[in-house]
Amino acid sequence: MELKEAYRFCEEVIAANSKSFYKSFSLLPKEKRKAVWAIYAFCRTVDDIVDEGNDPIRQLALFKQVFRDFLAGNYDARNPMWLALSDVFKNYDMDDEAFASMIAGQEMDLLIKRYQTFEEVLDYSYHVASSVGLMLLPVLAPGKTALLKDGAIALGYAMQITNILRDIDEDLGMGRIYLPSELMTKYNLSEQDLHNKTVTPTFVAVWEEMAIKAEYYYRKAFETINEYPVSSRIPVKGAGLVYREILTTIRKKDHNVFGQKHFVPDQSKQQILACL
């Protein structure tokens, strides 16, 4: 397989699975854009093993070994994701640990179905989302990874909390609840209330407290956004702003996250990106 074809495969993966990220990061220069596609394909592969695999524990263990082999220079060049990712690792000073953290985060989904505290949710969010930001930093801001690390972690927190608030119903269907139990207890929201799939004042109170925390981390992430190179600044900020808009979209629908999945309308995305 040619490298060009491998990158095209990775682009098709992100275009099919994350229109918001695809639209935002399409604004990057060509070489950086291609690298982002490859990193996304890696993340998607791990995510699909956990959510759609027939034997996810075994498959994830195998994937971990394949990744270790990849780091040692041994990989299947017929696999477009590994071929593209090998080129990324040659061209950028990639953070191996960030990729390992992503795999560990997906493993958490196989082992943990309930979180007690907000700090536990943050730890989970670090592994499945902040790790992505740390993977991308060497591509988006070469030489500035130390300066931008905290902001990248904050943006991962913000986006993952947003995911949690959007996907409550979908996660329930997989037996997972990411709303911290201590927060649900604070407002007297029970697990049965969630399964009843009714938007109540107590549900809104829990949802809003989590949303306020997400908005705090969006602000933290944007504090250092001007340290990114100009070519990366707009895509990163655009992705953050578009994702933050999911919270607004849900509020406009009276917090009803049951029986539907909320997306930011294309017109709203275009308006957000046009103002950058």
Tokens of 123: 């730890």
In this predicted structure, the answer to whether residue 70 has a pLDDT above a threshold of 70 is yes
Query: Please, where are the H alpha helices in the chain?
Result: 3-17, 19-25, 30-52, 56-71, 80-91, 96-111, 118-125, 131-140, 145-166, 168-173, 181-186, 191-196, 201-222, 230-252, 266-274
Q: Would you state the pLDDT for residue 266?
A: 72
In this predicted structure, the answer to whether residue 58 has a pLDDT above a threshold of 90 is yes
Residue with tokens 């340290």: 227
In this predicted structure, the answer to whether residue 101 has a pLDDT above a threshold of 70 is yes
Strand, helix or coil at 114? strand
At 53, the pLDDT band (50, 70, 90 cuts) reads confident
At 276, the pLDDT band (50, 70, 90 cuts) reads low
Q: Would you state the pLDDT for residue 24?
A: 80
Give the model confidence (pLDDT) of 1-27 as tens digits: 799 999 999 999 999 998 878 888 888
Average pLDDT for 75-97 = 96
Contact 154, 221 (CB under 8 A): yes
pLDDT, the chain, mean: 94
Where does residue 272 rank: exposed (0-12), middle (13-18), buried (19+ CB within 10 A)?
buried
> Angle formed by the axes of helices 230-252 and 145-166, to 10°?
20
Q: Would you state the pLDDT for residue 274?
A: 63
